[in-house]
């Protein structure tokens, strides 16, 4: 039923819960898992003040963080004996990076965590999960942490 499962990870405990759910589904359906992390290429705002890090330093730190998040998510997938790919994509908007991977990699299912924000925090920060759900054309399993 599901051949390719995408699991966006951000290094959070909720992301790791999503990985565990994806492992169970992958075992049941004989699926491959792709772990993904989206990084903002360089969030320079152009208002006269640059970030403390230059572009090269920022990208090195962002890539390092992405690899750390992916490594911690990859370990249980490999321990379960499942095929696993890792992807780091650039995207100013996280949900756009996720949606482009769904199309490019022929993903059948997305398993992603929801941080469960409420009240003013949800209003101000929004939810990547909600924005993905409003634009995606494949099933999504939302996992609460």
| pLDDT at position 118 over 90 | no
More confident of the two residues 92 and 32 = 32
Query: Closest Cα partner for 55 from 66, 47, 44, 46?
Result: 44
- Residue 89, classed as helix, strand or coil, is strand
Q: Any idea where the domains of the chain sit in the sequence?
A: 4-144
pLDDT band, very low/low/confident/very high, at 124 (cuts 50, 70, 90): very low
CA R_g for the chain: 16
- Give the model confidence (pLDDT) of 104-115 as tens digits: 999 999 999 887
Mean pLDDT score, 69-95:
94
Instruction: Please report the pLDDT score of residue 125 as a whole number.
Output: 45
- Give the model confidence (pLDDT) of 31-70 as tens digits: 999 999 999 776 665 555 555 557 778 888 889 999 999 9
> Integer distance in angstroms from the first to the last C-alpha of the chain?
26
Domain 4-144 fold is Rossmann fold (3.40.50)
**pTM (two decimals):** 0.86
Chain mean pLDDT for the chain:
86
């Amino acid at each position: 039923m599901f051949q390719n499962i995408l699991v966006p990870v951000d290094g959070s405990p909720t992301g790791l819960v999503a990985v565990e759910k994806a492992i169970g589904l992958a075992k049941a359906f004989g699926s491959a898992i792709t772990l993904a992390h989206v990084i903002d290429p360089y969030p320079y705002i152009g208002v006269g003040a640059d970030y403390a890090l230059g572009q090269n330093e920022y990208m090195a730190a962002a890539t390092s963080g992405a690899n750390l998040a992916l490594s911690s998510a990859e370990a249980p997938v490999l321990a379960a004996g499942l095929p696993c790919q890792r992807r780091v994509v650039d995207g100013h908007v996280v949900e756009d990076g996720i949606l482009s991977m769904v199309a490019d990699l022929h993903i059948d299912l997305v398993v992603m965590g929801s941080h469960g924000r409420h009240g003013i925090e949800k209003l101000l920060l929004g939810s990547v999960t909600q924005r993905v759900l409003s634009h995606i054309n494949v099933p999504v399993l939302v996992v609460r942490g």
